[in-house]
Amino acid sequence: MGRNFIEDILESTDTDLDTALDWHLRGNHFPPIHEDFYPAAKLAIELVNKRQGQTPIELPNGLTRTAWQIVEGLHLESFLALDHDDEGWY
């Protein structure tokens, strides 16, 4: 799959966020990201879109990462609604 596939899906279809996120986390990662991490991934996307990327999120494995670290670590940039050229978007 890859980033281009997810971006095309998000831009050209009415695929909901949960389905696209599932495709991305299972299809673009090896090993696939366990579904227990999906709520944290969705929250991270939401917080970064609200420019609250430094907000800590506790992960199911007991680790805590900022929303931005989760977006970067899971390659969720395609799910962001922000213009990446905006200063301070992370």
Bridge-based pairing state of the strands 56-58 and 64-66: antiparallel
Who has greater pLDDT, 60 or 81? 60
pTM comes to: 0.81
Closest C-alpha among 35, 46, 58, 48 to residue 90: 48
Question: What whole-number distance in Å separates Cα of residue 75 and Cα of residue 23?
Answer: 13
Structure confidence by residue, pLDDT tens digits, 46-77 = 999 999 999 999 999 999 999 999 999 999 99
Task: Indicate whether 28 pLDDT > 70.
Answer: yes
* pLDDT tens-digit readout, 29-41: 899 999 999 999 9
